[in-house]
């Protein structure tokens, strides 16, 4: 190989090495599509507390708490990711619940207590904002303490013990570019936000309308979800190879959940 060809070959190798280095530096551990299955999450819930008495539904543990007539009609509520609630007593052991925003159904559910009064089954259908498909899941809860007297049989304090669902696994796609990250998922939610702790808008969601991010290190991000300026969730996303651990703390309840995601 003559000197000119050798120089050209060496220069080409140098360019290739620089290009490979640039690609490596640009690739974030978060980049890619991740699959989660909400029914496999590990959760720690404080008791749900509600009761139906004298034709009224009282959600004591809701934040903020509210009271609406259990007459099957839409009633206004404030401070939530929905603006109306309707509650219908189906029978002595079952009632149905529908929440809406702007007249559009957000969540439908039925709550049924077992014959012995110790187990509550909640069948829930979520209707994402930007998706034609519904997310169906079921929650089982056990009674905490004694059943109250003189109220609907579903009333009381309930601790969630199991969640199952027939919904498809949730797919989330992340792309890090410089000092920001873009997110989109299979139910139509999306955002682009910088790692500067400022609030950025979220599209396609009912329950949260803003997000703020902080990069702890290259493999860990702290994410804060907000609705109407109030913090509703604080999450820590940690990537290790093709696995992502998502630790979520709900505010102000303090309920926690841990999700596992796998890179596709």
pLDDT higher than threshold 70 for residue 7: no
Q: How many CB atoms lie within 10 A of CB 177?
A: 11
Give alpha helix (H) positions in the chain.
3-26
Mean pLDDT within 115-142: 90
Give me the mean pLDDT over the 239-255 stretch.
92
User: What is the token pair recorded at 193?
Assistant: 């936000």
How far apart (Å, rounded) are the C-alpha atoms in residues 108 and 125?
A: 5
Whole-angstrom Cα Rg for the chain:
24
Q: What is the mean pLDDT of the chain?
A: 88
Average pLDDT in the 210-218 region? 96
Which residue from 133, 194, 200, 127 is spatially nearest to 168, judged by alpha carbons?
A: 133
Preceding omega of 232 cis (within 30 degrees of 0): no
> What's the token pair of residue 62?
């809701």
Give the number of other Cβ atoms within 10 Å of residue 162's Cβ.
12
DSSP state letter for 40:
G
Query: Looking at 11-25, 74-88, 165-179, which range is the least confident one?
Result: 11-25
pLDDT, one tens digit per residue, over 175-193 is 999 999 999 998 889 999 9
Which pLDDT score is estimated for 166? 58
Residue 205 class from Cβ within 10 Å (0-12 exposed, 13-18 middle, 19+ buried)? buried
Residue 190 near residue 203 (C-beta atoms within 8 A): yes
Percent of the chain with pLDDT over 70: 88
For residues 167 and 136, the answer to whether their CB atoms sit within 8 Å is yes
Report the pLDDT averaged over residues 47-74: 96
What is the rounded average pLDDT of the residues 219-224?
A: 98
**DSSP type of residue 47:** P
Task: Spell out the domains of the chain, with CATH numbers in brackets.
Answer: 28-39+169-263 (2.40.128.20), 43-165 (no CATH)
Which secondary-structure segment (H or E) carries 219?
A: none
Alpha carbon 217 to chain centroid, angstroms:
23
CA distance 234 to 228: 15
Q: Residues 230, 163, 37, 202: what is their CA dihedral angle, to the nearest 10 degrees?
A: -20
What is the sign, positive or negative, of the torsion defined by CA atoms of 144, 145, 147, 149? negative
Q: Which two tokens stand for residue 49?
A: 């507390």
Rounded distance between C-alpha atoms, residue 204 and residue 208, angstroms: 9
């Amino acid at each position: 190989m003559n000197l000119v060809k050798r120089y050209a070959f060496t220069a080409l190798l140098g360019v290739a090495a620089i290009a490979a280095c640039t690609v490596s530096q640009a690739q974030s551990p978060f980049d890619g599509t991740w699959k989660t299955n909400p029914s496999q999450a590990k959760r720690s819930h404080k008791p749900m507390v509600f009761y139906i008495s004298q034709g009224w539904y009282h959600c004591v543990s809701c934040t903020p708490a509210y009271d609406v007539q259990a007459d099957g009609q839409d009633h206004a509520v404030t401070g939530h990711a929905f603006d109306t609630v309707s509650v219908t007593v189906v029978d002595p052991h079952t009632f149905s619940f529908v929440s809406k925003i702007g007249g559009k159904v957000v969540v439908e559910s039925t709550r049924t207590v077992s014959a012995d009064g110790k187990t509550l089954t909640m069948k829930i259908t979520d209707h994402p904002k930007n998706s034609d498909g519904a997310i169906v899941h079921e929650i089982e809860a056990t009674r905490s303490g004694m059943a109250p007297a003189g109220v609907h049989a579903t009333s009381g304090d309930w601790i969630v013990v199991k969640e199952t669902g027939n919904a498809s696994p949730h797919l989330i796609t992340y792309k890090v570019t410089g000092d920001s990250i873009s997110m989109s998922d299979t139910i139509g939610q999306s955002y682009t936000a910088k790692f500067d702790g400022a609030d950025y808008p979220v599209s396609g969601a009912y329950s949260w309308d803003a997000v703020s991010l902080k990069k702890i290190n290259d493999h860990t991000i702290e994410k804060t979800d907000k609705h109407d300026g109030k913090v509703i969730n604080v999450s820590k996303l940690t990537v290790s190879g093709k696995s992502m651990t998502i630790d979520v703390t709900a505010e102000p309840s303090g309920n926690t959940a841990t999700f596992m995601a796998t890179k596709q």
